[in-house]
Structure 1
């Protein structure tokens, strides 16, 4: 793991921007749709699509492991890590369950899993379909 000043700066800058974008986007969606769960779901799906697209530029077919250069640290670890909200998703799902909405809580888990994994696969495939690998 790279803990150089450059690496930490890249992660910190990307993470700060990602966190601000997460807050703005999830707030807008939640206000429009009436519950924080939908804002978190929208952020998780778009964040998974984004990370799929970015990873598609850096990882060739069949590649394993993760790059660790400054751009990867800025965009994937920082920006996407600050933007995606799995911990918030968990808390929102727990809140639904504690409010007596077990069905919607389970639906949120299933829909999030299917959409986020699908979005990541689609983002990766989109990158390959245009031949945009590093």
Structure 2
């Protein structure tokens, strides 16, 4: 149960950091592309890789709460792309390039479709409720 608290606190901090950093970066670098998000995803991927290596070097001496706070909470709240990147690298390191490519293809394709569907659903529900109520 204590690990869940650490993950929740880390997630809150990561989310607040993502929001603040994006709000600061966007006026500086523009919004022709979501540069703030891209940079945050890159930074989060770097941080999850760095801490994974650091924690592996420290072995069992790193408390599980600390590992979960950083890797799941902080990095997960800051960017889930960091988890995706770590998982893809893990597949590559395990000698599974096909699964790594499939992970990339499925994640990118299905997440883009999900975002598109998420933007369509409210309008579809409103149109349906208008036609039922008419």
- The TM-score with structure 2 as length reference comes to 0.53
Question: Which has more radius of gyration?
Answer: 2
Q: Deviations over 1:57-91 (max 9, x none)?
A: 1225xxxxxx98111111110000000154xx966
Matched, 1:75 2:75: no
| Number of residue pairs the alignment of both structures matches | 83
**RMSD of aligned residue pairs (Cα, Å):** 2.8
Matched, 1:41 2:19: no
- The TM-score with structure 1 as length reference comes to 0.53
Unaligned runs of 5+ in 2: 82-107, 117-134
Distance 2:80 2:65 in 1: 23
Richer in helix (by share): 2
Q: Which runs of 4+ in 1 moved over 3 A?
A: none
